[in-house]
């Protein structure tokens, strides 16, 4: 990778990192995880209903 491409990648990464840090600071300590369970036919066939029930406990 050329030095120009390295610098460009660094600039892009820095802006993504700054945005992520801004969002984390905005959320603060009120972070609540979201768990998604695939409930389409393939998910149901793989036991998604059991997983959903386990999270209800």
Confidence of residue 52 (pLDDT cuts 50, 70, 90): very high
* Structural domain for 17, as ranges: 3-56
- How many domains does the structure of the chain reveal? 1
Rounded alpha-carbon distances, angstroms, from residue 25 to 12, 13, 14, 51: 20, 18, 16, 32
Q: Which residue has the tokens 């695939």?
A: 38
Token match 């997983």: residue?
Answer: 51
Closest CA to 51 of 37, 32, 41: 37
Question: pLDDT tens, 5-37?
Answer: 677 888 899 999 999 999 888 887 777 778 899
Neighbours of 8 (CB within 10 A): 12
């Amino acid at each position: 990778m050329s030095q120009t491409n390295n610098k460009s990648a660094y600039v892009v990464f820095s802006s993504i990192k700054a945005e992520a840090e801004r969002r984390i600071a905005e959320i603060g300590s009120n972070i609540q995880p979201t768990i998604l369970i695939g409930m389409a036919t393939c998910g149901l066939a793989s036991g998604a209903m059991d997983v959903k029930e386990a999270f209800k406990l």
